[in-house]
Amino acid sequence: MYDGVSLSDGLQRATGELRVSVKRRGDESVLDGLRQAGCLKARFPRAVAPGWFDATMVNTSGGVAGGDRLESVFSAGEGARITIAAQAAERFYRALPDSTPSRVRTSISVAPGAAAEWLPQETILFDRCALDRRLAIDVAPGAWFLGVEMLVFGRAAMGERVVTARLRDQIQVRRGGVPLLRDAIRLEGEVDSVLERPAIADGARALATLVYVAPDAEARLDAVRASADIAASAWNGMLIARILAPDGALARRTVMAALAVLRDGRPLPRAWLC
């Protein structure tokens, strides 16, 4: 009766599991395996670029609350290409003071000669939310990965502010089993006042982290910096860009400008354009 829901503590807790793998078949990338359970589903719209396989995640619970548990695993087989997007911006709602944080885990593996894009839309945080989220990427030597994560602390157009929250957000990248990046954000307590500090966000209420791992990462640096006056660095086959903005709309436009450079003008996933 309750698909993907636990009632052990008297409250509804959503759970979801999604596993998607793709493989190369001739000049095309095709679905190799699919498992979906609970509130996480995948849809596969018609590809917008030849040779690429598009996967769109759907969270049927309508948002993430304290205590929810979501796990996604994606893999691109040798020579395959996959773009992973989300149907809409994900929302993390207010959690009860004594509730456990929502737990979100995403793993992406990219085989030799393969390419993967992690392009969810914005993560919108509500006041008093609590989340523990981790994104782990394993890239084979010579493989290609592009990913972005956007955090929006309240919707400016709605007059929202995230006064307090519990946030742990981590991105890990390995190449050939060797750690390449571990980027972590930890905010707890009076988040609104912390974001005002010049050395942290200088008043910004939206931030984005863009990661590009590819043999030509260093060669792309100047073009990314010029795309929208973005702060970026590149070394050891990896490019990192940091974006701060007063609201989610401006952060999104800046991210789109950088993606246009790194994706060589390929159209964004259809969900981004709805």
Q: What residues make up the domain containing 186?
A: 5-273
- For tokens 């006056």, name the residue: 229
| Number of neighbours of residue 146 by Cβ within 10 angstroms | 20
* pLDDT at res. 1: 32
Exposure b/e, 90-122, CB count within 10 A at least 16 = b: bbbbbbeeebebbbbebbbbbbebbbbbbbbbb
Percent of the residues in the chain that have a pLDDT greater than 70, as a whole number:
96
User: Would you say 148 and 108 are in contact if contact means Cβ atoms under 8 Å apart?
Assistant: no
User: Residue 270 corresponds to which tokens in the numbers above?
Assistant: 């259809």
Helix locations, 173-247, DSSP H: 191-195, 221-228
Give the pLDDT confidence of 121-142 residue by residue, as tens digits: 999 999 999 999 999 999 999 9
* pLDDT at res. 2: 37
Residue 95 has pLDDT above 60, yes or no: yes
Cα–Cα distance list, 233 to 27, 52, 55, 241 (Å): 33, 28, 29, 7
Give the pLDDT confidence of 8-43 residue by residue, as tens digits: 455 678 999 999 999 999 999 999 999 999 999 999
Residue 83's pLDDT band, with cuts at 50, 70 and 90, is: very high
Closest CA to 244 of 183, 212, 199, 211: 199
- Number of domains, the chain: 1
* pLDDT at res. 11: 64
pTM for the whole structure: 0.93
| Number of neighbours of residue 65 by Cβ within 10 angstroms | 23
Residue bearing the bigger pLDDT, 4 or 103: 103
Closest CA to 247 of 198, 204, 195, 209: 204
Mean pLDDT of the chain: 93
Give the pLDDT confidence of 226-246 residue by residue, as tens digits: 998 889 999 999 999 999 999
Residue bearing the bigger pLDDT, 176 or 9: 176
